Amino acid sequence: MSRPEIQAPPEIFYNDEEARKYTSSSRIIDIQAKLSERALELLSLPNDGVPRLLLDIETHHSVELGLDLLGYDIDFTSFAISSTALTFALIETKNETFSVSCFVGCGSGLSGETLSENGHQWIGLDISESMLNVALEREVEGDLMLGDMGQGLGIRPGVIDGAISISAVQWLCNADKSSHEPRLRLKAFFGSLYRCLARGARAVFQVYPESLAQRELILGFAMRAGFAGGVVVDYPHSTKMRKEYLVLTCGPPSLSTATPKAKGEDEESCSEDESSGDGENQTVCISDRHRPRKKQRITKKGKGREWVLKKKEQLRKKGNAVPADTKYTARKREARF
Amino acid sequence: MRLLTHNMLSSNIKGVNNGFPLLIEAEKVVEKLVDFNPDFLRNIFPKIDWKALVAAARAVGYGELPDAADPAMLDSDDFLRHLHHALLQLHLEEGALVCPETGRRFPVNKGIPNMLLHEDEV
């Protein structure tokens, strides 16, 4: 199946049925959890006792944050904003550090749930009402908002300490309505994000760019908005495990803004410029849950001798010339070797 | 939607210079109990626009917050409890947020504010 971005605009693609998958499919939940865990890792909130406000932007792929794995015992006050989905969360780490983060594309609030479990409070933004309704059903503790990240975030300047988004940003590159201009939407998104982030705050976006050009477009607009940073590619040599994270820092480049190291970069010269294996991108969509066609055919049992005899009988009744039934009829061929 | 969220939202309509704070038209307000965490409140305090918070709390019918606040008041347990209640426990369930400049209403349904803009407002 093609990429979800191509099929329909987010508010239509993430309908009730699609939203349901984010609560019923353990595989989708698992992938989302892993992605958000890694994104949080990249966000690398310092444990310096300073309160932080973060922003987590994912597309409709909702995230489960395994904060405990990261050593954060976090208290989240999060808000879910639904446009392509946006969540804000307030994080309190173990040593009494409190942050507010924003999750863009909070979706059904899976991420928030984990946060709440850890005693966190959170806020999320999503464009799909269905996803937010699922979040409501799950009685997530954070605040939810319906909004479009391509229209800008609409948040007061300087209040957020970090932002995370899982596979949301590439949706901005699509013009789903005649009034949509991807460049303007990217500009509005990154511009408003830059304004609402505090100085020195980080933003981590997991993205599935369609092509090299699309990645450059996204990165270009991020840089133009004033962000420093770059792309971290985890497992660059694997087509399936390969994951790209846009790690952006608000403010001038410094040591602290250095891009973190990617995972699985064992071989030399893992340039970030190599184009991604598009088709193999592990997009969380329902098609991946079906097994590949070839496999299906192999595992299916062939039609046996009984079926062949029945068919031949039918044709005989129709008056067709049908070869007689012998011991060779529908016999399995011997293996050649 | 909590007042903490409200305190961070601003109107995003094109041409609006000061979209903060959004006015609250409350139809239904609910209270949900949240664990009291003084450290969190102390840390979030500098980021809060106090005037907007007091106005919002009054709009949802909570008048216990003082008109002005300074960091020294954070030592008072009483003050922290009021702040905790206003910030985290009061939820605007049904109603609307109104842009202070244009008067555009953002409806709030089931606690979810609809911040989607029309095409001519982007």
Residue A288 has pLDDT above 60, yes or no: no
Q: Are A90 and A53 in contact (CB under 8 A)?
A: yes
What's the average model confidence in pLDDT over A308-335?
90
- If asked whether residues A274 and A311 sit together in one domain, one would say no
For A147, the 3-state DSSP assignment is coil
ipTM: 0.87
Structural domain count, chain A = 2
Could you give the percent of chain A with pLDDT greater than 70? 61
Instruction: Indicate the fold that domain B3-115 takes in CATH.
Output: N-terminal domain of TfIIb (2.20.25)
- Poorest-pLDDT segment among A301-305, B23-27, B60-64: A301-305
The answer to whether the CB atoms of B88 and A77 lie below 8 A apart is yes
Residue A310 has pLDDT above 90, yes or no: yes
pLDDT averaged over every residue in chain B: 87
Quickly tell me which residue has 């966000």 as its tokens.
Answer: A43
**pLDDT higher at B88 or A116:** B88
Distance separating alpha carbons of residues A161 and A199, to the nearest angstrom = 8
- If asked whether residues A177 and A324 sit together in one domain, one would say no
Residue A93 lies in a domain: yes
Distance separating alpha carbons of residues A310 and A289, to the nearest angstrom = 35
Distance separating alpha carbons of residues A271 and A61, to the nearest angstrom = 27
- If asked whether residues A24 and A143 sit together in one domain, one would say yes
| pLDDT score for B11 | 87
The answer to whether the CB atoms of A151 and B37 lie below 8 A apart is no
Nearest to B1 among A53, A143, A147 (CB): A143
- In angstroms, the separation between the Cα of residue B73 and the nearest Cα of chain A is 18
Taking the Cβ of residue A70 and every Cβ of chain B, the question of whether any pair is shorter than 8 Å is answered with no
Q: How is chain B split among helix, strand and coil, in percent rounded to 5?
A: 35, 25, 40
| pLDDT score for A101 | 54
Residue A162 lies in a domain: yes
Over residues A198-229, the pLDDT tens digits come to 777 788 888 888 888 888 899 899 888 888 88
Residue A152 has pLDDT above 80, yes or no: yes
Taking the Cβ of residue A93 and every Cβ of chain B, the question of whether any pair is shorter than 8 Å is answered with no
Over residues A105-124, the pLDDT tens digits come to 555 566 555 555 544 556 77
- Poorest-pLDDT segment among A70-74, A104-108, B44-48: A70-74
Taking the Cβ of residue B30 and every Cβ of chain A, the question of whether any pair is shorter than 8 Å is answered with no
What's the average model confidence in pLDDT over A229-244?
84
Q: At A86, is the pLDDT very low, low, confident or very high (cuts 50, 70, 90)? A: very low
Task: Give chain A's count of helices (H) and strands (E).
Answer: 10, 10
- If asked whether residues A109 and A160 sit together in one domain, one would say yes
Domain residues for the domain of A264 are 4-289
Q: At B75, is the pLDDT very low, low, confident or very high (cuts 50, 70, 90)? A: confident
- If asked whether residues A330 and A261 sit together in one domain, one would say no
- If asked whether residues A271 and A126 sit together in one domain, one would say yes
**So where are chain B's domains?**
3-115
What's the average model confidence in pLDDT over A329-337?
80
**pLDDT higher at A138 or A59:** A138
Beta bridge partners of B26: B95
- If asked whether residues A330 and A235 sit together in one domain, one would say no
- If asked whether residues A69 and A192 sit together in one domain, one would say yes
The answer to whether the CB atoms of A159 and B111 lie below 8 A apart is no
- If asked whether residues A196 and A329 sit together in one domain, one would say no
| pLDDT score for A122 | 64
| pLDDT score for A105 | 55
Q: Are A127 and A18 in contact (CB under 8 A)?
A: no
| pLDDT score for B77 | 87
Residue A296 lies in a domain: no
- If asked whether residues A168 and A227 sit together in one domain, one would say yes
**Which CATH number is A53's domain given?**
3.40.50.150
Q: At A195, is the pLDDT very low, low, confident or very high (cuts 50, 70, 90)? A: confident
**pLDDT higher at A166 or B9:** B9
- If asked whether residues A228 and A200 sit together in one domain, one would say yes
- For the sheet containing B112-113, what is the strand order? B23-31, B90-98, B105-109, B112-113
| pLDDT score for B95 | 92
Q: At A51, is the pLDDT very low, low, confident or very high (cuts 50, 70, 90)? A: very low
How many CB atoms neighbour CB A286 within 10 A?
13
- Poorest-pLDDT segment among A117-126, A247-256, B13-22, B77-86: A117-126
- If asked whether residues A120 and A17 sit together in one domain, one would say yes
DSSP A167-220: S-GGGGGS--STT--HHHHHHHHHHHHHHHEEEEEEEEEEE--SSHHHHHHHHH
Nearest to B12 among A82, A97, A154 (CB): A154
- Poorest-pLDDT segment among A99-103, A172-176, B98-102: A99-103
Q: Are A283 and A3 in contact (CB under 8 A)?
A: yes
Quickly tell me which residue has 């609307």 as its tokens.
Answer: B96
**What is the pTM for the complete model shown?**
0.69
